[in-house]
Chain A
């Protein structure tokens, strides 16, 4: 339940206090280096290696599939 509560707080913090940025003002935001994970294969391998070497995994999306490495 604690996580749910955090989510609600995030929503409120996120929505308030921002001026509207029109679609034509979003050129910078649309650049590839501004995406959440600019390189898909690098993100995949990062996730795989850190999952294999550390006790934590996931975050940002639903957990991916496993492997015999952990």
Chain B
């Protein structure tokens, strides 16, 4: 019996998740669906900053200060630490307090004094990560929202690979594929138009992952200036004169996601960052002019 393309979807991590995969045995689908859903739920329960029982909430309450963390958390924190250094401190998972002073539902800029106070609780170094344990100071809070979704995509893709399955995992636009589809040399992935519904470009993905960031996800507009939800840890504001959307292709979704996020945060220096990282990318500036290292 030849393989057929099957799909299933569920809600996870604040967005839709879709999995497409080639299956020979019809009855495998429910089993795989359960296994993949369980894995996403596990990561949600572990790294959610909203669930009081999550590991991350325990860490944020200081309950796990100077306690050896598990290997997975250690791996993620080491990765964060590396990103923080390499991005010139732009990538910082402690900016959570900024989201309490920015309200993207009403067109008002935050009170500068509130912003100043919030900035005092920001700084990855205040977590005192030593490669094994944390020791949170200055009421700092960790928010892994910027990487857990990408990591979850990689985890699901790894599970497919371990089963020898051909498939594509899409979690709110962050995508990874286990290998090229059976009938074509690559999966066709559409890139969202930053200003209107529909696609602005299409890329071929035979292996690896693609992830993107854009100023269109959550933003407010004041006097013609767009303020998006990607806030810088140094100013507390979004980067001025940056890209409006960036998509990066990498061997895994985590890498693609962080490189594109940092490109957004770097503002005018975003293009130089992308060139320096030497990963395939597609980016659009405010005038929707395309910058790209690949054919799209």
Contact = CB atoms under 8 A, between A and B. Distances in A.
Tell me if chains A and B make direct contact, with any CB pair below 8 A.
yes
Nearest to B71: A25
B74 to A, nearest CB: 11
Contacts of B71: 25, 27-28
A24 interface: yes
A25 B72 contact: yes
A28 B162 CA distance: 18
Contacts of A24: 155, 158
Nearest to A24: B158
Q: How large is the interface on B (under 10, 10 to 19, 20 to 34, 35 or more residues)?
A: under 10
Contacts of A25: 71-72
Interface in B150-175: 155, 158, 162
A23 interface: yes
Interface in B102-159: 155, 158
A13 B155 CA distance: 32
Nearest to A27: B71
Nearest to A28: B71
B3 to A, nearest CB: 24
Nearest to B75: A27
Contacts of A27: 71
B230 to A, nearest CB: 30
Nearest to B72: A25
A26 to B, nearest CB: 10
Interface string A26-40: 011000000000000
B248 to A, nearest CB: 24
A31 B58 CA distance: 31
A53 to B, nearest CB: 42
A28 B71 CA distance: 10
Interface string B230-265: 000000000000000000000000000000000000
A23 B162 contact: yes
Interface in B32-83: 71-72
A58 to B, nearest CB: 36
A24 B72 CA distance: 9
A24, A25, A27, A28 — which one has the most chain B CB atoms within 10 A of its CB?
A: A24
A70 B72 CA distance: 51
7 contacts: A23-B162, A24-B155, A24-B158, A25-B71, A25-B72, A27-B71, A28-B71
The 3 A-B pairs with the shortest beta carbon distances in the complex, nearest first, are A25-B71, A24-B158, A25-B72
